[in-house]
Structure 1
Amino acid sequence: MSTPDETDDATPREAPVMPTAEEAAAAGQARTDAPRVVRVSFWLWIAAGVIGLVGAVLFLVLRDEWADIQARSSPGRSVAEMRGLAAGLSWWLLAGSVMFLAFFVLVGYNARRGVRKARTLLLVLGVFAALFEYSLGRVTIYGLISALLIIVAAGLLYAPPARRFFAGDER
């Protein structure tokens, strides 16, 4: 009599077999490699997020100079008031830039895998990120470059090769 801990060694066990790429694709478990436009778009999303983050870090470092310039250009505001505004604004911009970079990486990765919802979500995130770059009059060269990269990356996700890549997705 065998105990529950013992196994019957008489039956041979087969090693698990991984499906081939064709079998996995037919079963919907895996997608083929993304087309070049989708891969380029992914890296443009990452670059846009990094450039936006660089701009936010530079604003954090140079916020006192920005406050001094703003205080001189608007006579009704004091330097202390503008420095307080710059301190709050710099942390808000830094947190937002980190958040957008994280979203671009996570959602961009899913779009690169072929998830159609991720492509749509990236378009919505891109609109909000471009608006974020221009919020409160913060138009800098970093914001302009980041917004341009966002527009190009979103456009590439809707190019004909990308549309064919996302067409078969049912998720």
Structure 2
Amino acid sequence: MTEPTEKPEPEGLPKAPALSGDETAKPVAGPLPQPVKVSWYLWIAASAVMVLGFALSLVMKQQIIDLTLELPRDQRLTAEQIAGGITTVLWTFLVGAVVFAALFLLFAWKAKDGTRSARTVLTVLAAVTVVFQVLFFANEAKLLACALIVAATVCLYLPSVQSYFPKLPKR
């Protein structure tokens, strides 16, 4: 019997991807720094408060409708059309808040593992979310969520955690 020989990688092709059980699949980032752990808990809190803020907007639907009807508008729009549109928008925002909360938690979990790209995605999501929450039907819960989101993002960029998110070498 002959021993199996390892086939060399053909030239010009990238290396085969590492298997999930392979120890070399992901570089170990080291022990979890305290700011990253704090950021994880802040993302959890921000997600819950954000969804609560959009649910609160839905509860305050009639007040939002009344305020909107007081604004100058196109006379071709009836009060019922405006009320229906606002109701649809508020439900859409609530579903969007749940989706963003899930994305926050997913990428915050990956950031806990030291994934640099997860930190970048969280930063972009944070910027979009803060602008969106401040512009559309802001309330106290949404403003608190914005503060938590900013704090969670800042924790991921503190100088003490820079080595936890190493830059990947260029190919």
Q: Give the TM-score, by structure 2 length.
A: 0.74
Separation in 2, partners of 1:26, 1:160: 27
Deviation of the 1:123 alpha carbon:
0.6
Deviation of the 1:150 alpha carbon:
1.2
Deviation of the 1:74 alpha carbon:
4.5
Separation in 2, partners of 1:109, 1:169: 19
1:150 aligns with 2:149: yes
RMSD value, Cα: 2.7
Q: Quick one: structure 1 residues 29 and 162, their matched pair in 2 at CA, closer, same or farther if it must change by over 3 Å?
A: closer
Once the two structures are superposed, the pairs formed by residues 21-170 of structure 1 within 5 Å of their partners are 28=26, 30-74=28-72, 79-136=79-136, 138-167=137-166
- Which has the larger helix fraction? 1
Contact 2:30-2:164 within 8 A present in 1 as well: no
For residues 83-114 of structure 1, what are the alpha-carbon distances to aligned partners after superposition, in whole Å with 9 as ceiling and x for unaligned?
12221111111111011100000000000111
Q: Quick one: structure 1 residues 67 and 28, their matched pair in 2 at CA, closer, same or farther if it must change by over 3 Å?
A: closer
Contact 2:57-2:139 within 8 A present in 1 as well: no
Deviation of the 1:135 alpha carbon:
3.6
Q: Give the TM-score, by structure 1 length.
A: 0.74
Separation in 1, partners of 2:64, 2:167: 50
Question: What percentage of aligned pairs have identical amino acids?
Answer: 29
Contact 1:31-1:114 within 8 A present in 2 as well: yes
Q: Quick one: structure 1 residues 92 and 26, their matched pair in 2 at CA, closer, same or farther if it must change by over 3 Å?
A: closer
Contact 2:29-2:114 within 8 A present in 1 as well: yes
Aligned length: 147
Higher RCO by CA contacts (8 Å cutoff, separation 6 or greater): 2
Deviation of the 1:29 alpha carbon:
5.8
**Unaligned 5+ runs, structure 1:** 1-23
Separation in 2, partners of 1:36, 1:168: 20
For residues 31-51 of structure 1, what are the alpha-carbon distances to aligned partners after superposition, in whole Å with 9 as ceiling and x for unaligned?
433101001111111211211
Separation in 1, partners of 2:168, 2:109: 15
**Unaligned 5+ runs, structure 2:** 1-21
Name which one, 1 or 2, has greater alpha-carbon Rg.
Answer: 1
Q: Quick one: structure 1 residues 114 and 70, their matched pair in 2 at CA, closer, same or farther if it must change by over 3 Å?
A: same
